[in-house]
Structure 1
Amino acid sequence: MSKTTDQFSEYVNTLFLENATKEALTSPDLYHSHSFYLNLIPLLTENGKNDINIPAAKLEKLGIASYLYFRALLVYDHMTDSQTETTEKKTNLYLFFSFFERSAAELGRLYENSNPFWQYFEACKLEYFNTTLLEKQWSQKRPAITEAVFKKIASGKSAVCNAIVYALNGLMPKDFQHTPDWLECLQHLHIGFQYLDDLDDFKKDGIEQQWTYTHSQVEEAIKDQGHNLSAVSSDAKYRYLFLSGIAVRNLENAIDHFRLAKTIAAKTQLHRLVTFITSKEERCRNQIREISLLIEKTKDKAKKSTDHLQARTIQHSTTAGIDFMAGSLQEDGYWRDFLTSAGFGRDWITAYVVLQLSDIPGNEALIAKASEQLLSRTGAAYNENIIADADSINFFIWMQNNRGVNVPEATVVNWRSFMHSNGGWATYNNELSLREKLGLDKGVSVAGWLMPHNCVSAVAACVLSFMEINEAYDDTIGYLLKQQHDEGYISSYWWTSPIYATSFSLMALSKTKKYADAAARMACWLSNIQNSDGCWYNPAVNEPSALYTALAMKALLQFNDKHYTEEIQKGAEWLLRNQTGDGSWPTNRVLLLPATNVIQLETVEQWRKSSFGVNVIIDDHNRVFTTATVLNTLHLYEQKYSLIHAS
């Protein structure tokens, strides 16, 4: 933390507040979101450049005074914007006066009454309060807002921030020569910030009846198309914001203003400020990329069938499913699924699908086309934008083995490097490369992604079972059995249900009789949680899951198909009933993406349903991951029972 955050935290601890309120006021996440305002003075006075000669002690006092004033304004805005309970209003009123009075006292010690700073400060405050009053009026009248008016308002809302420039001048013998440049730089920065804030807060502002430029743009565009606004839901407006191109245009406008601000910062040799602005530009570009990917995902999902196929036999079902998979293979020879901030899953998905389809005869040409590029490599990753991981290499090696291809020794050595001494397998094993790829500094922990993961270890155990690396297999199984709960299941890290880790663990154990009791308890747990209609549920969304149904079925088939005949039969019938008209199976959000610091999933307070960011739940929207799994399981089922089943 900075000196200012330390001082602010110490001050908050002296206030007459409940501990929960104090913790909320001084949370690291909040400080992180305020990083620009906390660091603005150091950014503008970088290394004493530009002939700024102000004692460090005075800069520290100015830092705490400005941050206290900033927090007072935030409390003020919150009080005037939201409908809060009486108790919360009292707390906010107390906080406002506490922060404001302490800030005024600190400023009074720094500046005499005759200092020009006070006159400039009054002008800044007047512009700010006039702007916020106008915003309140907008929320009542909801007028159409032009871009020019938006920029003027954005500048007005940042007027108090300009007081920092005048405050620095007030501590020097004469006005600083770059004062106009600094003011212009801050103006462009805050216009860019406002574009981003309007996008980030679109839903929240709508709920709180706050009228913004972005809301005005969306509603005017919808009216121009001849729609009745009263019939358009808030969710529809939010979707239109992105699908219409408004969000991308505003992000491009934000980039333009960040570039102008960066040019000024570079001219005045404020290199840290240049770096900060560059990060904001990059964030805008990433958002534009994510919007493009999300639109692509939305179009892909819209093409998928929702009606039922009514397959007459497993062969009929398999043929339709293979046709779907062939149609989903992209021109570059890859299947793609599971959209995240890193993009669409590619290598991992393709290796997994080839593995599943290679057990089904008659698909040699399709498999050869899909695996051609993968086989020319020594490893695999989620996609081309992220470093190699153990799970992708798991399926890559398994795929090669199924196709009768020799696995290069270099691949095996690389793969084995993900195994920990306790027998568990981590998804990633190179901290420096991971940080670099994700753009994370040393202050952000990546321990959650570097530790052993049950789901990855379970698949590794399956691979080890046929590679005849007995010692590593026993160590991995030993690790997994230590993770087994009394009920029989093994928790997953990257998946919404223990079904994933438990099913692959049971598949690995089915290769040996050494751990019969542990395997039996896994099978019993899978049997016990089967739904009465034959499916297995995804607990994250409380819906049936074709993926989990197929995995659980396959595990029971490989473990003891005779003992679990009824469960397997019911599962197969459910899968046949629920295949869709295009040959695929419906999917839902099954993949978890925890933050890099998450060790225990239970510590995540809320999992968002989103393709982007962390602590999110993601769906295989293209259905290829789920459909390939189901096809493999149904083929194994047909082989085991040698029967043609009606749906």
Structure 2
Amino acid sequence: MADIQPSLYFFRNQTHFLKENFIIDNEELLQKFTTSVEHLCYFTLKMDKIIDGDYKFSNESENSDFYSAVKSHQESVRIMTEIFPKNHDFWNHLDENNRQYYTTLSKEKYNTSTKPVFTLKEFEKYAIGKHTLAFIPIIGLDYIFEKKCNIEQLKEVYVLIFKGIQMNDDIEDLSADIQNGQWTYVRSRVEEFIKENNLSNESNLDQFEERVFYVSGIAQELIHYSKESFIKARNIAIENNYREITQWLSEIIADISKNEELVLSLIND
């Protein structure tokens, strides 16, 4: 797992982390739903790359990926129609989560063009909206199978994971986001620090914003925020005996702690 971005590993394996919290009395139905979720995840991850500007659609491979994403979305919905009747409440949940997700993507593009000052509260709302489709596996499993856990507590764990993952991803993607013109909470904090302290890159230093990010102390603060979000999520997971999620969170916290120590050593040196 160390070679896979934490968010990718988590979202690609949703039912693996969730199934222990439900009484699975039909393995075939579970596998069918899992396949649908995997297709939805693939589509969502590709959409994120498109919105982030990672795709330029300049070659046949990238165009093929775009088609594969659309096809995956179609397949996900097709399978879901075999599981949930037309008038099932599941579709209302899917519609609402889709609305929130695409509204967040639109807001993200707007922010990239206007570059507003981000507050932490706005970041957290964004982090939840950006990952809201990850609630669908919980909602679907809750309709299909009998639950063994408190669903609201499980969703609260997910909310904390969304915040931790989004912050961690924005930290790791800072250089790429600067290059692509992507506006994030991390970039907003850096630019505000530069403005408030009247800093300028008169020497034309490479990666000036990244240097400010680490030297200013913002990096340590936001890494700590990400780590604390995961710790809070793990505490709830332990209390509710979400074993698979607890194990994954422990690994993530250990990895972030190593990054935290590395940043501190680099700054102190």
TM surpasses 0.5: yes
Specify the alignment match of 2:40 in structure 1.
69
Match of residue 262, structure 1, among 229, 234, 238 = 234
- Per the TM alignment, residue 113 of structure 1 is displaced from its structure 2 partner at its CA by 1.4
Specify the alignment match of 2:95 in structure 1.
122
Q: Which has the higher helix share?
A: 2
- Per the TM alignment, residue 124 of structure 1 is displaced from its structure 2 partner at its CA by 0.8
Match of residue 45, structure 1, among 10, 15, 19 = 19
Specify the alignment match of 2:116 in structure 1.
143
- Per the TM alignment, residue 260 of structure 1 is displaced from its structure 2 partner at its CA by 1.6
**Whole-angstrom distance in 2 between the partners of 1:205 and 1:230:** 22
Aligned: 1:134 with 2:107: yes
SS at match of 2:42: helix
Specify the alignment match of 1:249 in structure 2.
221
Match of residue 189, structure 1, among 161, 185, 203 = 161
SS at match of 1:34: helix
1:85-234 counterparts in 2 under 5 A? 85=58, 87-172=60-145, 178-228=150-200
1:78 partner amino acid: K
**Structure 1 residues 69 and 233 mapped into 2: Cα distance closer, same or farther (>3 Å)?**
farther
SS at match of 2:118: coil
- Per the TM alignment, residue 267 of structure 1 is displaced from its structure 2 partner at its CA by 2.1
Deviations 1:457-480, CA, capped at 9 Å, x for gaps: xxxxxxxxxxxxxxxxxxxxxxxx
**Whole-angstrom distance in 1 between the partners of 2:117 and 2:11:** 31
RMSD after superposition? 2.5
Deviates most, 75-84 or 185-194? 75-84
- Per the TM alignment, residue 107 of structure 1 is displaced from its structure 2 partner at its CA by 1.4
Deviations 1:402-441, CA, capped at 9 Å, x for gaps: xxxxxxxxxxxxxxxxxxxxxxxxxxxxxxxxxxxxxxxx
Q: Aligned pair count?
A: 267
1:463-478 counterparts in 2 under 5 A? none
- Per the TM alignment, residue 176 of structure 1 is displaced from its structure 2 partner at its CA by 6.9
1:208-357 counterparts in 2 under 5 A? 208-228=180-200, 235-297=207-269
2:132 partner amino acid: A
TM-score by length of 2: 0.90
**Whole-angstrom distance in 2 between the partners of 1:239 and 1:282:** 25
Q: 1:79·1:92 contact (CA, 8 Å) conserved in 2?
A: no
1:387-426 counterparts in 2 under 5 A? none
Which runs of no fewer than 5 residues in structure 1 stay unpaired? 2-27, 298-647
- Per the TM alignment, residue 90 of structure 1 is displaced from its structure 2 partner at its CA by 2.7
Specify the alignment match of 2:30 in structure 1.
59
**Whole-angstrom distance in 2 between the partners of 1:69 and 1:199:** 26
Q: 1:192·1:253 contact (CA, 8 Å) conserved in 2?
A: yes
**Whole-angstrom distance in 1 between the partners of 2:205 and 2:101:** 33
SS at match of 2:128: helix
Higher RCO (C-alpha under 8 Å, 6+ residues apart)? 2
**Whole-angstrom distance in 2 between the partners of 1:200 and 1:239:** 14
SS at match of 1:114: coil
Q: 1:195·1:254 contact (CA, 8 Å) conserved in 2?
A: yes
SS at match of 2:68: helix
The structure number with the bigger radius of gyration is 1
**Whole-angstrom distance in 2 between the partners of 1:229 and 1:274:** 44
- Per the TM alignment, residue 35 of structure 1 is displaced from its structure 2 partner at its CA by 2.1
**Whole-angstrom distance in 2 between the partners of 1:97 and 1:286:** 38
Q: 2:227·2:253 contact (CA, 8 Å) conserved in 1?
A: yes
SS at match of 1:45: helix
SS at match of 2:255: helix
Aligned: 1:78 with 2:78: no
**Structure 1 residues 232 and 190 mapped into 2: Cα distance closer, same or farther (>3 Å)?**
farther
- Per the TM alignment, residue 33 of structure 1 is displaced from its structure 2 partner at its CA by 6.6
**Structure 1 residues 234 and 211 mapped into 2: Cα distance closer, same or farther (>3 Å)?**
farther
Deviations 1:36-84, CA, capped at 9 Å, x for gaps: 12332122222xx5x5344222222222211111111222222333233
Deviates most, 101-110 or 201-210? 101-110
**Whole-angstrom distance in 2 between the partners of 1:234 and 1:125:** 40
Specify the alignment match of 1:9 in structure 2.
none
**Structure 1 residues 200 and 137 mapped into 2: Cα distance closer, same or farther (>3 Å)?**
same
What is the percentage of aligned positions where both structures have the same residue? 21
Deviates most, 277-286 or 220-229? 220-229
**Structure 1 residues 31 and 263 mapped into 2: Cα distance closer, same or farther (>3 Å)?**
closer
Which runs of no fewer than 5 residues in structure 2 stay unpaired? none
- Per the TM alignment, residue 92 of structure 1 is displaced from its structure 2 partner at its CA by 3.0
**Whole-angstrom distance in 2 between the partners of 1:120 and 1:199:** 31
**Structure 1 residues 127 and 259 mapped into 2: Cα distance closer, same or farther (>3 Å)?**
same
**Whole-angstrom distance in 1 between the partners of 2:103 and 2:65:** 22
